[in-house]
Structure 1
């Protein structure tokens, strides 16, 4: 899935963020909607009061629960970060409002790559647009079908007037700068009025990262925008952050596979070759079948690797056979 971030008005800041593979997760007060995080809690307060009356002998314990929930609600303003994205790159209002009146640019992210390797994992969800302020009550807290429902109630609603943004929202555990896998950026769209120098600076900054570039244009006899791919002026055969890490002895051992999975044993070495080319891979330590995720007809493999020389910085990633085949076929230096 691809999502989009419009940028404009602070070119040097935005260029630096692209160069350093980072995005900024704002707090609610930094966003342009004064109603961010607005909720009603009348039902919740009534429920708490009923509990205090019914279980009056435990009212002190209930008061502690009430304070804990209040602290959790306060986190939406003081702890959690918000990274707002859109599902479209060609909305004329978004270009006007968020990309310096079409003089800026729009970043295309692969959402899966953007969220990969985050610990803890970033949450994400579509914004719901409504003319009613969301209501917070105890059922929100104890909902087992959707453990993120509380966060969605607190940070997942906006007025119907904002629905043109078609927003997907990423929620981070921290506010401020967040680092992502550089491969998350797949394309840059330049606005109708983007300066030539800005376009060239972005291309030069992102050289070697396999990013595609598009110029926004007006469709003929239409109010609509369309994108035309343009040539990368700084094409290079030197890949950004590319290296081939070592594979430890016995990291790949086909003899450990159960009989019903033996026919898939070549995928162990294929996955090792893929993982050793991960930008943050220092050393591949273990490749095996995930018994909890696999079935005899649909095996899932996992790889563990170090990101630094010590044993404390490690990553674990899972791959299906289709994913392994796809990425292995793209390797050009075996």
Structure 2
């Protein structure tokens, strides 16, 4: 399989210790080269007051993935084998570190080879692990904690998807908000830009084994705190690849409401009510945002837009 620029971006980001260090900055600069000129956010108008306030104030409300329509959203896998290996290896190291180095050199011992061949210690520490935990660790709680700690806002590269209008804009009764990102590409300090991540589509879940290890053995590192919640948040099944999605991802400790650029255009759904169309157009007029409306073709399975008003 051909490696994508997205894979390269996340690999570069994984080398950074914090989201603000030099390695992270270089990763974001690389991502910005691939950032689309425009991104779109489909919105249902069922929570009319919130949506109206967000449009008027250039705000965006971050959501919990627990409320998303994909049951696998932010799902991740945890390897029990790697956790046991980590547990045993570290216990071996603690034992052998008490021995003096001359012991190894005198008997020409390689302590790493010794670790791999200690079947007796492996059996004893596996038993110790089971005795201490009484059962397999409750990974479901760890995974739930990951989901609980993430806040997300979803965007797409496309505004003409019939499926997304149906799923996220209340069956074409809502709106689609367009953001022009041209002026943001050089501003890596912008929240709207820096927290924006491209979604990876795969049949394999994100691996959260390292988080489980840190959680179980209480050895959390700054790197894990900075990056572990990003991995499951940007990994989705290939079934969703048609969405061409980008996401703002933030830890729950952040404010759920963030400031956005003023929309460059608002697209009304083809089935929007006259009442909703009226107030959306009023907001657009007051803020100088062009407003257009989607119209379905009578020949093709596609849509066109009315002239800006």
TM superposition score category, shorter chain reference: 0.5 to 0.7
In the other structure, the counterpart of 1:67 is none
* Residues 134-185 of structure 1 deviation map (CA, whole Å, 9 limit, x = unaligned): 223559x99xxxx97634422111122222222111112446632314x431
Give the TM-score of the pair, scaled to structure 1.
Answer: 0.56
Q: Which runs of 5+ in 2 are unaligned?
A: 1-36, 98-124, 126-139, 215-219
Residue 279 (structure 2) pairs with residue 201 (structure 1) = yes
The equivalent residue for 2:204 is: 132
The alpha carbon displacement at 1:99 in A equals 0.9
* The one of 257, 261, 278 aligned to 1:178: 257
Taking only aligned residues, the RMSD between alpha carbons, in angstroms, comes to 4.0
Q: State the TM-score, normalizing by the size of structure 2.
A: 0.60
In the alignment, the residues of structure 1 paired with residue 258 and residue 76 of structure 2 have an alpha-carbon distance, to the nearest angstrom, of 30
Higher RCO structure (Cα 8 Å, ≥6 apart): 2
Which runs of 5 or more structure 1 residues have no equivalent in the other structure?
60-69, 232-334
Q: Look up the SS of the partner of 1:17 in the other structure.
A: helix
- For residue 5 of structure 1, the aligned residue among 41, 65, 69 is 41
Mapped partners of 1:71, 1:113: distance in 2: 38
Matches of 2:189 and 2:58, distance apart in 1: 13
Question: Number of matched residues?
Answer: 222
* Aligned counterpart, 2:29: none
Shift of 1:75: 5.9
Question: How far 1:118 sits from its partner (Å)?
Answer: 4.8
Distance 1:56 1:36 in 2: 39
**Residue in structure 2 matched with residue 227 of structure 1 by the alignment:** 305
Tell me if structure 1 keeps the 8 A contact 2:150–2:229.
Answer: no
Asked if structure 2 preserves the Cα contact closer than 8 Å seen for 1:212 and 1:229, the reply is no
Higher helix proportion (structure 1 or 2): 2
Aligned to 1:275: none
Q: Deviations over 1:180-219 (max 9, x none)?
A: 14x4311100111112331221121233423111111123
In the alignment, which of 62, 72, 87 is matched to residue 49 of structure 1? 87
Matches within 5 A, 1:183-332: 183-231=261-309
1:84 CA drift (Å) = 1.1
Alpha-carbon spacing, 1:87–1:44, altered in 2? closer, same or farther (3 Å): farther
The C-alpha deviation readout for 1:25-74, integer Å capped at 9, x for no partner, is: 11222222222221112054144224323323489xxxxxxxxxx99977
Q: 2:243, 2:191 → 1: CA distance?
A: 28
Q: Tell me the distance in 2 between the aligned counterparts of 1:52 and 1:207.
A: 64
Tell whether the 8 Å contact from 1:105 to 1:189 is kept in structure 2 after alignment.
Answer: yes
More strand by share: 1
Question: Quick one: which of 169, 172, 179 aligns to 2:247?
Answer: 169
Write the deviation string for residues 250-307 of structure 1: whole angstroms up to 9, x where unpaired: xxxxxxxxxxxxxxxxxxxxxxxxxxxxxxxxxxxxxxxxxxxxxxxxxxxxxxxxxx
